[in-house]
Amino acid sequence: MIKRRWIHIILFLVAGLLAGKKLRAQDNVIRQLRTSLLQQQDSAGYTNVLNQLGMQYHLSNTDSCFWYGVKARDIASRHGDKKGLAGALNNLSIFYALKANTEQAIEYSFKALLLYRELGDQPNICQVLMNLSVFHLYNGMKPEANQYLYQAMELGKTLTQDSIYSLVLINYAIRFEGDSTRKDSVRWALERSNDIIRKYPGSREAYYIQALEADEWMKEGEGARAVQKINELADKALKEGLVVVAIDMLEHIDIYKQNGYPANAVPAKEKAFAIGNRAGYLNMMLPTVASLYRHYASGSNEAKKAYYGGALWELVRKQLELKSSNHMNYLDYFMKEQELNEWELSNKVQEQKINKANMKRKSRQQLIGFMVGVLLLMAGFTYARYRSYKQLRKQESLLREMNDAISEKNQQLNIHDDFKNKLIAILARDFREPLNNIIRVSVMFRNKDMDQVSMQQIIDEAVISSRKTLIIFDNILRWIKAQLSGFVYSPAPCDLSLLFEDAMHHIDHRQIMLDIPPGLYLAGDQEMLLFINRSLLHCAVKLSAGNERIQVRAIEDDLVKVEIILTVRSFTQQMAAHLFEYRRGDDMSVTLVICKDFMDKMGGHISAEVEGVQLRLGYSLPSFN
């Protein structure tokens, strides 16, 4: 914030210099300048007024500052007006500084400095040196910034127009106000500047002198008095149309807050952002907008959080565009015109040389014709050889493509054969028990001595067995669809607890303990996860030692990790490493291979690990929370 306040003071200097010692309200000054613009009789006077208008507008509207600067630059370039061109370049440097593009601001300021030195304009040399000091400091080049500031101070001592020197002293005081070794020189600079400002009542420099006095009150423990003074200065600056000065004043309150004074800086920041946004100073409001967004992001005011979040996003987007785009260098276009004139003269010389070369070229045409004939004969022979070579290469390429096609078809046949083997194994395992139950129930219907209760029980068992069969059909159909071409995986929220409860209905084991946090959702396919959970539980029951407890737990970290923990006998780590690989003749291995296929399609990971006498079957998927 302090760096940004330095830039505002330096830019403000130029407005004070060009507008005169006796300052009036911003609107009145602009109105008078516009009237004066219509009364100008020559281009130099017209350009001078345009530059003054651009300088006035930098305090209230950056776009207008840029427009007047470009217009003045074009007129001054056409008429060879160095003074007008220097003023226009100075305005453009201020515009780019307010748009947070200090590299472009430094370039324009340095070119303006060269023109002012050529003209011998000492006051403007002083103020441009001071501007360059601030631009280099803001760009992280502190040694260069200090050198420019010292040059401005030495030159300011010799100026008869000492109002410029007062601003140099103010900048010196602000630059080194935190340096304990320069307390005396800072105090002297402020006193000397204050003495100069008294000669010019209403000077804008007085705002910054009074703000520095308020800073001293804050250091002496009079925080309430300092905050009140800053608010008064900001309101007064707004009444006079000095938007940049008002923003600078309001930033003092945030500095007080950072230094430990319990001031509420949020209203001041909101006020500064509002007036800066209206006047086109959004680019220099990045710290303010970021601070407001952080403040409301930690609270419950969603409307303001969204408002300042949108402003922050827009500001960052504009600054990224500013860094990635190539800004137009207007002065280079002026220099290109001179280069074009030189090129025209050079072209005339080149035309004479070309005429001489044409004479020599005619004498060589016969020799060239002969050489062309020889080359054509050689080209015909080479082309014939090349055609035979291409034909051979084409035949080799065709043979290679046929071999590749045959290999690809063989690979597809192997994949389809593996798919059919898995499908047959699932049908043999998953449909055996439900169909046996249905046959058993049908046989029991032949018993005519059964009472109504037994009959109803048999019917219920048939219904349950049929439902299980339909569920198995759905799972197999889902797996088949996942294996076919054109399948697109679309993750959806899946309640992990409900999925395991549903899977437990198909497992005949009473010692399964669920340790799953409520409301935990996975990002996956519900049918695939149901098949995986049911298959892993079935595998755990089959591998568990006796009727001991099987624990199912889930942990949410970067991913949701699901583990099924059971006690195993004679199960090694090597067996666990190959648990999810296909083994011929093992129905369970086919089911686990399908589980791995499903997990791969969902972007997850499935594994098995042995720790002592415990086997941990688990998988991990992203959380949908």
Query: Is the separation of the CB atoms in 243 and 281 below 8 Å?
Result: yes
pLDDT of residue 27: 63
More confident call, 132 vs 443: 132
- Cβ contacts of 168 within 8 Å, gap of 6 or more: 126, 130, 149, 152, 153, 156
Is the torsion defined by CA of 98, 99, 102, 103 positive or negative? negative
> pLDDT of 143-178, one tens digit each?
888 888 888 888 888 876 667 787 888 788 778 877
Query: Is the separation of the CB atoms in 617 and 563 below 8 Å?
Result: yes
**φ, ψ (nearest 5 deg) of residue 60:** -140, -25
| Distance in angstroms (rounded) separating the CA atoms of residues 94 and 66 | 9
Indicate the range of 157-166, 322-331, 380-389, 413-422 predicted with least confidence: 322-331
pLDDT of residue 8: 46
Quick one: tokens of 374?
A: 């020889």
pLDDT of residue 326: 41
| Distance in angstroms (rounded) separating the CA atoms of residues 47 and 68 | 9
Residue 337 pLDDT greater than 50, yes or no: no
pLDDT of residue 22: 36
| Pairing relationship of beta strands 512-515 and 550-556 according to DSSP bridges | parallel
pTM for this prediction? 0.42
| Pairing relationship of beta strands 614-621 and 560-567 according to DSSP bridges | antiparallel
Considering the chain, what is the average pLDDT of its residues? Answer: 77
**Span 2-332 CATH architecture:** Alpha Horseshoe (1.25)
pLDDT above 90 covers a percentage of the chain that reads: 8
- CA angle at residue 415 from 413 to 417, to 5 degrees? 65
Q: At what angle do helices 162-175 and 122-138 cross, to 10 degrees?
A: 20
| DSSP-derived secondary structure letter, 282 | G
- Cβ contacts of 229 within 8 Å, gap of 6 or more: 210, 211, 213, 214, 217
> pLDDT of 85-120, one tens digit each?
888 888 888 888 877 778 888 888 889 989 988 988
Widest distance between CA atoms in the chain: 128
Segments in 261-329 forming alpha helices (H): 266-278, 286-297, 302-324
| Pairing relationship of beta strands 550-556 and 605-611 according to DSSP bridges | unpaired
More confident call, 371 vs 437: 371
pLDDT of residue 9: 46
Query: Is the separation of the CB atoms in 508 and 541 below 8 Å?
Result: yes
- Amino acid letter for position 310: G
Indicate the range of 17-31, 149-163, 168-182, 198-212 predicted with least confidence: 17-31
pLDDT above 70 covers a percentage of the chain that reads: 76
pLDDT of residue 622: 93
Residue 517 pLDDT greater than 60, yes or no: yes
Quick one: tokens of 597?
A: 């296929």
Band the pLDDT of 311: cuts 50, 70, 90.
confident
Indicate the range of 329-333, 440-444, 560-564 predicted with least confidence: 329-333
Is the torsion defined by CA of 38, 41, 47, 48 positive or negative? negative
Fold of 492-621: Heat Shock Protein 90 (3.30.565)
pLDDT of residue 208: 72
Average pLDDT over residues 402-429: 71
Q: Do domains 2-332 and 492-621 have the same CATH topology?
A: no
Q: Which burial class, exposed, middle or buried, applies to 392 when counting CB atoms under 10 A from its CB (0-12, 13-18, 19+)?
A: exposed
| Distance in angstroms (rounded) separating the CA atoms of residues 591 and 598 | 11
Chain Cα centroid distance, residue 265: 28
pLDDT of residue 192: 81
- Cβ contacts of 341 within 8 Å, gap of 6 or more: none
Dihedral, CA of residue 371, residue 373, residue 379 and residue 382, to nearest 10:
-90
Residue 200 pLDDT greater than 80, yes or no: no
Query: Is the separation of the CB atoms in 564 and 533 below 8 Å?
Result: no
Place of tokens 């130099």: 44
pLDDT of residue 448: 56
Instruction: Outline where DSSP puts E strands in 387-519.
Output: 492-495, 512-515
Band the pLDDT of 498: cuts 50, 70, 90.
very high
Quick one: tokens of 125?
A: 């040399």
pLDDT of residue 327: 44
Residue 546 pLDDT greater than 70, yes or no: no
Q: For 227-255, give the DSSP string.
A: HHHHHHHHHHHHHTT-HHHHHHHHHHHHH
Q: Where are the domains of the chain?
A: 2-332, 357-430, 434-483, 492-621
Residue 491 pLDDT greater than 70, yes or no: yes
> pLDDT of 548-597, one tens digit each?
789 999 998 889 999 999 988 788 888 888 888 877 656 677 778 888 88
> pLDDT of 32-81, one tens digit each?
777 877 777 788 888 888 888 877 776 666 677 788 888 888 888 888 88
Closest C-alpha among 423, 410, 547 to residue 475: 423
Instruction: Outline where DSSP puts E strands in 447-602.
Output: 492-495, 512-515, 521-524, 550-556, 560-567
